């Protein structure tokens, strides 16, 4: 589904992603762990199309199309979703309106009709309940005044409503309480199937215990320094990053 080839990215002449190669196959759950500042969020942002990065070399292919030729909204319409490490507050825009606009834009791009409002709201309410998210969140301004954990839950709510092909989750577990982590992890586990892929960036074992990734990569200084299966998470928890960097 996603293939990153020889990718090098810099900001203000500082190299942050350094000749990275990574493949994410359809149906796979892939985890990236790595020390603070190693370039994990930069990688997520570059895949999603955030401006402000210099792409010095390489390609990112999504379903065999080089996405550097596509705007962020086109990437989203093709099925790439990024749950932000730091979700943005947008006062004056209601959560549900934002989500409905996003969904309808994607539908329009793919030649589908706008959503029926009633069906959309019913689906929102249904999913809110499953995620134990109070339905008052739907009418509140996007992320405005939400607690840290509520923002993260709202990101997952949007993701599950958008039904993307590639879900990039940048530290979705930070700030979640123990019960919320269970609810979110279950939601992700159930969403995952042979037609979509998850890229999970995390510092902690607990989320991965629930999600059971197929592959784990350790990231340092903008590249993968070690790859393995789930057992790598346990080794990391025991020995720390020093063993690998």
Residues that bind ligand ATP (CB under 6 A): 11-12, 16, 34, 36-42, 52, 85
Rounded Cα distance between 12 and 21, Å, is: 22
Could you tell me which residues come within 8 angstroms of residue 178 by beta carbon, excluding any fewer than 6 positions away? none
The owner of tokens 């999600």 is 211
| Min dist. Cβ of residue 40 to Mg ion (A) | 5
Which residues from 76-95 bind Mg ion, rule CB under 5 A? 85
Task: Retrieve residue 69's tokens.
Answer: 């030729």
The span from the CA of 85 to the CA of 173, in Å, is: 9
Select from ligand ATP, Mg ion, none the partner in contact with residue 228, using the beta carbon and a kind-dependent cut-off of 5 to 8 Å.
none
- Cα–Cα distance, 60 to 22 (Å, whole number): 9
CA–CA distance, 128 with 96 (Å, rounded to integer): 11
| Binding at 13: pick from ligand ATP, Mg ion, none (beta carbon under 5-8 Å per type) | none
CB of 207 to ligand ATP, least distance (A): 14
**Nearer CB in complex with ligand ATP: 36/231:** 36
Binding partner of residue 65 among ligand ATP, Mg ion, none, CB under 5 to 8 Å per kind?
A: none
CB of 17 to ligand ATP, least distance (A): 8
Nearer to Mg ion, 137 or 219 (CB): 219
> Nearest CA to 156 among 141, 173, 142, 140?
173
3-state secondary structure of 144: coil
Residue 16 binding partner per list ligand ATP, Mg ion, none, with a CB distance cut-off of 5 to 8 Å that depends on partner kind: ligand ATP
Burial string for 60-80 (b: 16+ CB within 10 Å, else e) reads bebeeeebeebeeeebbbbbb
- Cβ-based nearer residue to ligand ATP, 68 or 241: 241
Query: With respect to ligand ATP, which residue has the nearer C-beta, 168 or 184?
Result: 168
At residue 141, φ and ψ (nearest 5 deg) are -65, 145
Cβ proximity to ligand ATP: between 47 and 160 the closer is 47
Binding mask 29-68 for Mg ion (x = CB under 5 A): -----------xx---------------------------
In the complex, least distance from residue 125 CB atom to Mg ion, rounded to whole angstroms: 32
54/11 Cα distance (integer angstroms)? 6
Cβ atoms of 55 and 133 within 8 Å: the answer is: no
Q: Rule CB under 5 A: which residues touch Mg ion? A: 40-41, 85
């Amino acid at each position: 589904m996603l293939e990153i080839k020889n990718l090098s990215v810099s900001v203000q002449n500082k190299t942050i992603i350094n000749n990275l190669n990574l493949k994410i196959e359809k149906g796979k759950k892939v985890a990236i762990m790595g020390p603070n500042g190693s370039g994990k969020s930069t990688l997520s942002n570059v895949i999603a199309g955030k401006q402000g990065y210099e792409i010095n070399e390489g390609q990112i292919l999504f379903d065999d199309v080089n996405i550097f030729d596509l705007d962020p909204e086109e990437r989203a319409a093709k099925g790439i979703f990024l749950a932000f490490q730091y979700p943005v507050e947008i006062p004056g825009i209601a959560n549900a309106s934002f989500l409905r606009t996003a969904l309808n834009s994607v539908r329009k791009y793919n030649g589908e009709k706008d959503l029926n409002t009633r069906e959309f709201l019913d689906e929102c309410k249904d999913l809110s309940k499953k995620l134990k998210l109070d339905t008052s969140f739907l009418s509140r301004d996007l992320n405005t005044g939400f607690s840290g954990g509520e923002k993260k839950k709202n990101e997952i709510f949007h993701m599950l409503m958008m039904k993307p092909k590639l879900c990039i989750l940048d530290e979705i577990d930070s700030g979640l309480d123990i019960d919320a982590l269970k609810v979110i992890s279950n939601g992700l586990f159930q969403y995952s199937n042979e037609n979509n892929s998850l890229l999970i960036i995390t510092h902690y074992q607990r989320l991965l215990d629930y999600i059971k990734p197929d592959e784990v990569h350790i990231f340092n200084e903008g590249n993968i320094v070690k790859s393995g299966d789930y057992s790598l998470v346990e080794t990391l928890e025991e020995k720390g990053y020093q063993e690998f960097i």
